[in-house]
Structure 1
Amino acid sequence: MRLVRHPVLCNYYVTYRCNARCSFCDIWEKPSPYIQLADVERNLRDLKQLGVSVVDFTGGEPLLHRHIHEFVALAHDMGFVTTLTTNCLLYPKYAEKLRGKVDMLHFSLDASEKEVHDRGRGVACYDFVLESIRVARELGERPDILFTVFRENLSDLEAVYRDIAQPNQLMLILNPAFEYNNVATGEQLSAEELDYLSAFGRRKGVYLNEAFIQLRRDGGNHIAKPVCRAASTTLVISPSNELVLPCYHLGEQKFPIDGNLVELYQSPAVQGLAALEGRLPQCEGCTINCYMQPSFAVETSKYFWQALPSTLKYNISKGTWKRMLTR
């Protein structure tokens, strides 16, 4: 049964540019402009009208945009729950300006050892993560550690949890790696490794959406009976001020917004493409977390009930449920 029939999340790409070269991502290879403040202001008003509650400012590396603090502040002051993920190379520079404006601030860290993390990210950023943790805590911020899980770093979870997340009283978010297009992420987790990850996710101070694990056990999205609701739950806005459908990773079509996001979203062309969510040939086997998370939240299914405990655990810990109630 569908519980929510309007979009709940906006993935707002401020730029596709990135100062890292992660082996499991191809976004940094794309040429890209930067979003403009006037467009952000208009689009945020329209997002509010459409019922969106969470705005994720993303990239690329979002802190490459010199006005990122203005975008986040504007969205936060309008009542949106704001999220931002960074590799931390620029966080110490922007920390004071971002203070109090990011509800879900994620620092990417995939290993406990500097050499291993930096090799996976293609740039020396491990020391910047540790420095960013120190700076954020001094400012009274509560960032999370976002750990992208592969087979080769699964054994490193314990050290990151024990030596970095817990001593700094930070939530450790487990983000199982996913494949898309031609980006290789190595061998998929085995059934035993999924069981280990699931058990780890039940620890204090750890967040893992259990429905992500179940979806992988089930072989991902199936086009004959899709669980993905990407296009109806999530609006993807590009740095060129385009609406991207059905999701960023497929990017079948891009529609210029031109100051009319509400009208565009409700147009037959967009709604027709949105109706194909989870049903395109490329959607078979998909496990992309950033679209499955809202998909699981808007209709009752086994994934809804499996996602609910961890979602409540995280939002209670972070206090973001209060922001949701006061929108």
Structure 2
Amino acid sequence: MRLVRHPVLCNYYVTYRCNAKCSFCDIWEKPSPYIQLADVEQNLRDLKRLGVSVIDFTGGEPLLHRQLPEFLALAHDMGFITTVTTNGLLYPKYAERLRGKVDMLHFSLDSSEKEQHDKGRGVACFDFVLESIRVARELGERPDILFTVFPENLHQLEAVYRDITQPNGLMLIINPAFEYNAVATGEQLSDAELDYLSAFGKRPGVYLNEGFIGLRRDGGNHVAAPVCRAASTTLVISPSNELVLPCYHLGTKTFPVEGNLYELYRSEPVQQLAALEGRLPQCEGCTINCYMQPSFAVETSKYFWQALPSTLKYNWYKGTWKRMLAR
């Protein structure tokens, strides 16, 4: 049963540019402009009308955009829940300007060992993440650590939890790696490794969407009976101010926004393509967390019930439920 029939999330790409070269991502390879303030102001108004409640200012590396604090302030003042994920390289420099504007601030960290983390990210950023944690805590911020899990770094979860997140009072977010397009992530997590993650996710101070585990056990999205609701739950806006459908990672078509996102999203061409969410050939076997998380939240299914406990746990810990009630 569908519970919510309007989009709830906007993945707003401020730029595709990045100062890292992560092995499991191809975004940094793309040439890219930066989003413009006037477009952001108009689009936020339209996103509000469409019912969106969460704005994820993303990239690339979102902190490369010098106006990011202004975008966040606009969104925050309009009642949106805001989220930013960063590799930490620029956070200490801009932390004061970001203070109080990000509801869900994530620092990417995939190992407790500097060499392993920096190798995966293609740039020396481990020390910057630790410095970002120190600076954020001094400013009274409550960042999370986003740990992207592969079979080769699974053993590092314990050390990151014991030595970094728990001593600093941070939430450890477990993000199982996913493949898309030509981006390969190596061996998939085995059933035994999924069992380990499932048990780890039950610890205090750890967030793991159990729906992600269930979906992987089931072989991902299946076009014959799709669970993905990417296009009806999530709007993707590119740095060129285009609406990307059905999602960023598997996007097949872009539509220029041209100052009227509200009418564009509701237009027949967009809705026809949105209706194919989860049903395109490239959607078979998909496990992209960015779109499965909102998909699980808008209709009752076994994934909804699997995801619910971790969602409640995280929102209670972060206090974002207070912001939701105030909207």
**TM-score of the aligned structures, taking structure 1 as reference length:** 1.00
Q: C-alpha offsets along residues 113-166 of structure 1, whole Å, 9 cap, x if unaligned?
A: 101100000000000000000000000000000000000000000000000000
Q: What residue number does 1:142 align with? A: 142
Q: What residue number does 1:285 align with? A: 285
Q: What residue number does 1:266 align with? A: 266
Instruction: Provide the C-alpha distance between the structure 1 equivalents of 2:14 and 2:102, rounded to a whole number of angstroms.
Output: 15
Instruction: Provide the C-alpha distance between the structure 2 equivalents of 1:276 and 1:250, rounded to a whole number of angstroms.
Output: 12
Q: What residue number does 2:195 align with? A: 195
Q: What residue number does 1:318 align with? A: 318
Q: What residue number does 1:221 align with? A: 221
Q: What residue number does 1:103 align with? A: 103
Q: What residue number does 2:49 align with? A: 49
State the SS of the aligned residue for 2:134.
helix
State the SS of the aligned residue for 1:248.
coil
State the SS of the aligned residue for 1:166.
helix
Instruction: Provide the C-alpha distance between the structure 2 equivalents of 1:230 and 1:184, rounded to a whole number of angstroms.
Output: 21
State the one-letter code of the partner of 1:275: A
Same amino acid, percent of matched pairs:
87
Q: What residue number does 1:68 align with? A: 68
Q: Equivalent residues in 2 for 1:1-327 (5 A)?
A: 1-327=1-327
Task: After TM superposition, give the deviation of residue 288 of structure 1 in Å.
Answer: 0.1
Instruction: Provide the C-alpha distance between the structure 1 equivalents of 2:56 and 2:320, rounded to a whole number of angstroms.
Output: 14
Instruction: Provide the C-alpha distance between the structure 2 equivalents of 1:68 and 1:93, rounded to a whole number of angstroms.
Output: 13
Instruction: Provide the C-alpha distance between the structure 1 equivalents of 2:271 and 2:308, rounded to a whole number of angstroms.
Output: 28
Instruction: Provide the C-alpha distance between the structure 1 equivalents of 2:3 and 2:167, rounded to a whole number of angstroms.
Output: 39
Instruction: Provide the C-alpha distance between the structure 2 equivalents of 1:321 and 1:208, rounded to a whole number of angstroms.
Output: 18
Task: After TM superposition, give the deviation of residue 283 of structure 1 in Å.
Answer: 0.2
Instruction: Provide the C-alpha distance between the structure 1 equivalents of 2:114 and 2:246, rounded to a whole number of angstroms.
Output: 37
State the SS of the aligned residue for 2:168.
coil
State the one-letter code of the partner of 1:77: D
State the one-letter code of the partner of 2:168: N
State the SS of the aligned residue for 2:228.
coil
State the one-letter code of the partner of 2:277: E
State the SS of the aligned residue for 2:111.
coil
State the SS of the aligned residue for 2:10.
strand
Q: C-alpha offsets along residues 288-322 of structure 1, whole Å, 9 cap, x if unaligned?
A: 00000000000000000000000000000000001
Q: C-alpha offsets along residues 45-77 of structure 1, whole Å, 9 cap, x if unaligned?
A: 000000000000000000000100100111011
State the SS of the aligned residue for 2:172.
strand
Instruction: Provide the C-alpha distance between the structure 1 equivalents of 2:45 and 2:325, rounded to a whole number of angstroms.
Output: 19
Q: C-alpha offsets along residues 252-273 of structure 1, whole Å, 9 cap, x if unaligned?
A: 0000000000100000000000
Instruction: Provide the C-alpha distance between the structure 1 equivalents of 2:294 and 2:120, rounded to a whole number of angstroms.
Output: 28
State the one-letter code of the partner of 1:9: L
Task: After TM superposition, give the deviation of residue 6 of structure 1 in Å.
Answer: 0.1
State the one-letter code of the partner of 2:321: W
Instruction: Provide the C-alpha distance between the structure 2 equivalents of 1:25 and 1:11, rounded to a whole number of angstroms.
Output: 16
Instruction: Provide the C-alpha distance between the structure 1 equivalents of 2:184 and 2:52, rounded to a whole number of angstroms.
Output: 32
State the one-letter code of the partner of 1:283: C
Gaps of 5+ in 2: none
State the one-letter code of the partner of 2:307: A
Task: After TM superposition, give the deviation of residue 250 of structure 1 in Å.
Answer: 1.0
Instruction: Provide the C-alpha distance between the structure 1 equivalents of 2:292 and 2:94, rounded to a whole number of angstroms.
Output: 30
**Structure 1 runs, 4 residues or longer, greater than 2 Å off:** none
Instruction: Provide the C-alpha distance between the structure 1 equivalents of 2:157 and 2:3, rounded to a whole number of angstroms.
Output: 35
Instruction: Provide the C-alpha distance between the structure 2 equivalents of 1:276 and 1:227, rounded to a whole number of angstroms.
Output: 12
Instruction: Provide the C-alpha distance between the structure 2 equivalents of 1:140 and 1:58, rounded to a whole number of angstroms.
Output: 23
Instruction: Provide the C-alpha distance between the structure 2 equivalents of 1:258 and 1:203, rounded to a whole number of angstroms.
Output: 47
State the one-letter code of the partner of 2:130: L
**TM-score of the aligned structures, taking structure 2 as reference length:** 1.00
Instruction: Provide the C-alpha distance between the structure 2 equivalents of 1:63 and 1:196, rounded to a whole number of angstroms.
Output: 34
Gaps of 5+ in 1: none
State the SS of the aligned residue for 2:277.
coil
Q: C-alpha offsets along residues 51-106 of structure 1, whole Å, 9 cap, x if unaligned?
A: 00000000000000010010011101100000000000000011000000000000
